[in-house]
């Protein structure tokens, strides 16, 4: 049955945030976790996993490797349990980290963050050519180096949105068919918030052969249908963009070094996408690639703000980053982990 124009319906009672690992403006106080460890492959992801298990959200990261093989990790975190103001929670956190990291842990300090946190919100500006490639990046077959990757990219391009204002007397119906990925509902609901329309009622199917079908009954904040063709086109265009490639993943040269850049749009509320840092460090650990340094910050373009993750990578004989094939494999693996494939 179509929703009545007289009765309110609600399917999604949606609250963003909680699981973090991507930055947000949270009411919780921000704390600085300062770790000094002996370097090893997968260390950064292991620390990130521990923090996730302990219900912390990572707001900012600064990772530096010293010439003597040590790593200084600065994690700016908020506590999902809102207990970091207590000595017991801080002591339990440090004890857990030290126990899991074992002999690799040299020191571990946890304290309320100071004014230096604000200075980390903005990363050094990207070179114009790199920024253009990152923020205007679109998936296409030319990015693929294998038939398997080309097949995935072609699948991603298959998204259709139909707008219907005849079926329901009170709502605009969006009928969506697209490839399934991790965070699909998040991307749709984030876009609905950005465009300030309300989802009054919705229905979605189970994933079939990697596809999902969604029917969303929506209306504007003033309670009216979306009838303006320009508004419809802008909404559909943004929805397709967020469903086709919610992440931008590229590799660039930074002097003699190799840098992995991952970007995703920031919500209108100022919150970042959950678990991006976790997933990227997981992909790098699976490929046994060492991270020399890492940072999370914000970059603004003409129409929106982005959260940017910068990883300076160590080259190795196992995974030579000077090889175009190796770089394609790295981008492919990072994208697959982020998309949940």
What is the residue extent of each domain of the chain? 28-121, 127-137+246-340, 147-244
CATH code assigned to 28-121: 3.30.70.260
Q: Report the pLDDT value the prediction gives residue 121, as an integer from 0 to 100.
A: 64
Q: Report the pLDDT value the prediction gives residue 154, as an integer from 0 to 100.
A: 60
What is the reported pTM?
0.80
Q: Report the pLDDT value the prediction gives residue 20, as an integer from 0 to 100.
A: 46
Give residue-wise pLDDT tens across range 151-168. 555 655 678 999 999 999
Q: Report the pLDDT value the prediction gives residue 127, as an integer from 0 to 100.
A: 86
Residue 263 has pLDDT above 80, yes or no: yes
**Cα 293 to chain centroid, rounded:** 19
Sign of the CA dihedral with 78 first, then 84, 89, and 91 last: positive
Residue 57 has pLDDT above 80, yes or no: yes
Q: What is the pLDDT confidence band of residue 145, given thresholds at 50, 70 and 90? A: very low
Average pLDDT over residues 203-225: 89
Q: pLDDT: is 126 or 93 the higher one?
A: 93
Residue 104 has pLDDT above 80, yes or no: yes
Q: Which of 260-270 are b and which e, b meaning 16 or more Cβ less than 10 Å from the residue's Cβ?
A: bbbbbbbbeee
Q: Where is average pLDDT lowest: 93-107, 148-162, 228-242?
A: 148-162
Residue 144 has pLDDT above 70, yes or no: no
Beta bridge partners of 298: 122, 307
* CATH class of the structural domain 127-137+246-340: alpha beta
Q: What is the pLDDT confidence band of residue 15, given thresholds at 50, 70 and 90? A: very low
Q: pLDDT: is 142 or 89 the higher one?
A: 89
CA distance 268 to 331: 28
**Is the CB of residue 180 less than 8 Å from the CB of residue 188?**
no
Residue 280 has pLDDT above 60, yes or no: yes
Q: Which of 122-150 are b and which e, b meaning 16 or more Cβ less than 10 Å from the residue's Cβ?
A: ebeebeeebbeebbebebeeebbbeeebe
CATH code assigned to 147-244: 3.30.70.260
- Strand, coil or helix: 254: strand
Q: Report the pLDDT value the prediction gives residue 2, as an integer from 0 to 100.
A: 53
Residue 103 carries which DSSP code? G
Q: Report the pLDDT value the prediction gives residue 155, as an integer from 0 to 100.
A: 57
Q: Report the pLDDT value the prediction gives residue 157, as an integer from 0 to 100.
A: 66
Q: Report the pLDDT value the prediction gives residue 51, as an integer from 0 to 100.
A: 93
Q: Fold identical between 28-121 and 127-137+246-340?
A: yes
**Is the CB of residue 235 less than 8 Å from the CB of residue 220?**
no
């Amino acid at each position: 049955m179509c929703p009545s124009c007289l009765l309110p319906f609600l399917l999604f009672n949606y609250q963003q945030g909680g699981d973090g690992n991507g930055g947000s403006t949270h009411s919780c106080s921000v704390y600085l976790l300062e770790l000094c460890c002996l370097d090893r492959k997968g260390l950064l992801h292991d620390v990130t996993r521990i923090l996730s298990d302990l219900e912390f959200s990572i707001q900012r990261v600064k990772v530096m490797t010293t010439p003597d093989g040590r790593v200084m990790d600065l994690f700016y975190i908020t506590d999902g349990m809102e207990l970091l103001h207590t000595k017991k929670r801080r002591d339990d956190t440090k004890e857990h980290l030290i126990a899991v990291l074992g002999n690799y842990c040299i020191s571990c300090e946890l304290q309320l963050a100071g004014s230096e946190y604000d200075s980390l919100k903005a990363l050094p500006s990207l070179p114009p050519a790199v920024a253009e490639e990152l923020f205007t990046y679109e998936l296409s077959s030319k990015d693929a180096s294998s038939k398997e990757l080309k097949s995935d990219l072609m699948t991603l391009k298959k998204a259709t949105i139909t707008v219907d204002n005849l079926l329901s007397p009170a709502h605009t119906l969006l009928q969506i068919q697209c490839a399934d990925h991790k965070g699909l509902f998040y991307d749709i609901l984030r876009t609905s918030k950005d465009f300030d329309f309300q989802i009054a009622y919705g229905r979605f199917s189970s994933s079939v052969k990697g596809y999902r079908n969604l029917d969303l009954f929506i209306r504007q904040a003033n309670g009216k249908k979306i009838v303006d063709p320009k508004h419809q086109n802008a909404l559909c265009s943004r929805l397709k963009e967020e469903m086709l490639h919610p992440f931008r993943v590229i590799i660039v040269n930074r002097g003699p070094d190799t840098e992995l850049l991952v970007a995703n749009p920031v919500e209108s509320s100022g919150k970042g996408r959950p678990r991006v840092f976790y997933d990227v460090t997981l992909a790098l650990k699976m490929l046994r690639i060492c991270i020399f340094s890492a940072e999370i910050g914000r970059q603004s373009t003409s129409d929106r703000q982005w959260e940017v993750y910068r990883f300076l990578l160590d080259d190795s004989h196992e995974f030579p980053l000077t090889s175009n094939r190796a770089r394609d494999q790295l981008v492919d693996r990072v994208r697959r982990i982020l998309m949940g494939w």
